[in-house]
Amino acid sequence: MLDNLTKLTYQTFQQSKNYFGLAHKILSSQLRNLVHPTVVQMSNASPEVIVKLQNRLNQLLEADWQDAQKQIYPQSLLFDNSWEDFFRYYPMLCLDLPQMWERITQNRYQDFSPETYQEGYPNYYLQNFHHQTDGYLSDLSANLYDLQVEILFGGAANPMRRRILAPLKHGLQKFQGLPPRQLRILDVACGTGATLKLIRAAMPQASLFGTDLSPAYLRKANQLLCQNPGELPQLLQANAEELPYLDNYFHAVTSVFLFHELPASVRQTVIEQCFRVTKPGGVLIICDSIQMNDSPDLADMMDGFPKMFHEPYYRHYIADDLVERLEKVGFQDIEIQVHFLSKYFIAYKKEG
């Protein structure tokens, strides 16, 4: 009876986040029509697609619940939400909308404020991804990012992130003879630390590492991860094309929502780097957007996504063969999973 009540509470909690995301989209659309009526809108999804999306969401939430029941991660993660950040940053998100709409109407996709430091970054990274003010290079962007992603996915971002935890723990079983603190896990492009926070909850004694190009996002990650019990992950500013670690160092490497924001050649380089730093027998887990061959029924939505949210490399990504890329560098036993709007590649490096 208690489990049923808890499950109902979880479903209600997730549904409330979904409703909030919908309410925000309606509000922002009405405000946009008043301020910038010429901003292009993405075509409405058909009723059939909406039903399919709702079914996919329900399946995701059921998988999330079941993994918590299997004790892959604590049940408390199901209800984890930073309400303090929400009340602090949601007004700022609304205030930032006019600047975002201005960039959309003027097709300004590499627009940064004068005080934003841009030296040393690859050109492909200097983008207003999602039309964000200052791209990934300001504290404002870092503070708003998680809220924006939750709204985009209707509250399903963390349930999608948590789908890496079961294959991660499974992939590390071959190293179970090691003391837990000797297990080393790297999260590439860790952003605000959301994925590392989940990994820490599931594996409280593992040694965690994270890299990201953005100092602002790493500052935000430190703020987030300092709130959790356990050893603080070691965070470094680094380009995923040149990971600053020894060969064969990590038992597992993860990357969440990175690859659709990389040009094709860079995707290959990052995979090569992930292979290099993974120990023989170790596992790489990539979580990213679904691709066209997974969901042809969502083709219209995927076609509209890169323009609506300024994702300049997305169209190539959704047709890219990441399995071929993984096999090319030596990964094997590649498993693919799809949950809601995300796709997962689980790949192993051959043991010596």
> 95 with 216, same domain?
no
Last residue of a domain, one of 113, 135, 157: 157
Query: Domain limits at 17?
Result: 2-157
One domain for residues 345 and 256 = yes
119: burial class by Cβ within 10 Å (0-12, 13-18, 19+)?
exposed
Q: What is the pLDDT of residue 5?
A: 73
Quote the radius of gyration of the chain (alpha carbons, Å): 20
- Identify whether residues 68 and 150 lie together within a single domain: yes
> Are residue 91 and residue 106 in the same domain, yes or no?
yes
102 and 33 in a single domain? The answer is yes
140 with 224, same domain?
Answer: no
Torsion on CA atoms 104, 105, 106, 111, rounded to nearest 10: -20
Side by side, the strands of the sheet bearing 234-237 are 234-237, 207-212, 184-188, 250-256, 278-289, 342-349, 331-339
Q: Extract long-range pairs of 28-33: CB within 8 Å, 24+ residues apart.
A: 28/94, 28/97, 31/94, 31/97, 32/97, 32/101
Whether 245 and 260 map to the same domain: the answer is yes
* Contact yes or no for 157/150 (Cβ under 8 A): yes
- For the ranges 16-25, 36-45, 111-120, 142-151, the lowest mean pLDDT is seen at 36-45
What is the pLDDT, as a whole number, of residue 22? 60
- Contacts of 290-296 with C-beta under 8 Å, sequence gap 24+, read 290/318, 290/338, 290/341, 290/342, 290/343, 291/317, 291/318, 291/319, 291/320, 291/343, 292/318, 292/319, 294/338, 294/343, 295/338
Region 317-339: mean pLDDT is 98
Residue 180 shares a structural domain with residue 322: yes
Identify the residue with better confidence: 234 or 100. Answer: 234
Give the residue carrying structure tokens 């925000």: 24
pLDDT of 14 > 80? The answer is no
Per-residue pLDDT band for 161 (boundaries 50, 70, 90) equals very high
Average the pLDDT over 211-225 and give the result.
Answer: 97
Name the percent of the chain lying above pLDDT 70. 90
**216: pLDDT confidence band, cut at 50, 70 and 90?**
very high
Greatest C-alpha distance within the chain:
63
Residue 228: the pLDDT is 81
- CA dist., res. 256 & res. 72, Å (int): 19
Same domain, 139 and 170: no
Closest CA relative to residue 194, chosen from 142, 252, 250, 121: 142
The 10s digit of each residue's pLDDT in 106-148 is 999 999 999 999 999 999 999 999 999 999 999 999 999 998 9
Please report, for the domain that includes residue 329, its CATH number: 3.40.50.150
Residue length, the chain?
352
Q: Nearest-CA neighbor of 278 among 232, 254, 247, 242?
A: 247
Give the dihedral sign, CA 132/136/141/144: positive
278 - beta bridge partners?
250
- Whether 148 and 179 share a structural domain: no
Task: Give me 347's structure tokens.
Answer: 């790949």
- Single out the residue of 160, 164, 168 nearest to residue 340, CA to CA: 160
Last residue of some domain: 131, 157, 183? 157
The answer on pLDDT for 35 being more than 50 is no
Q: Are 271 and 259 in contact (CB under 8 A)?
A: no
Domain boundary among 157, 174, 203: 157
Given CA atoms 324, 325, 330, 334 in this order, what sign does their dihedral have?
A: negative
pLDDT single digits (tens) 177-210: 999 999 999 999 999 999 999 999 999 999 999 9
Domain count, the chain: 2
pLDDT at 31: 46
Q: Quick one: 185 and 276 in the same domain?
A: yes
- Asked if residue 173 and residue 247 are part of one domain, the reply reads yes
Question: What percent of the chain is modeled with pLDDT above 90?
Answer: 67
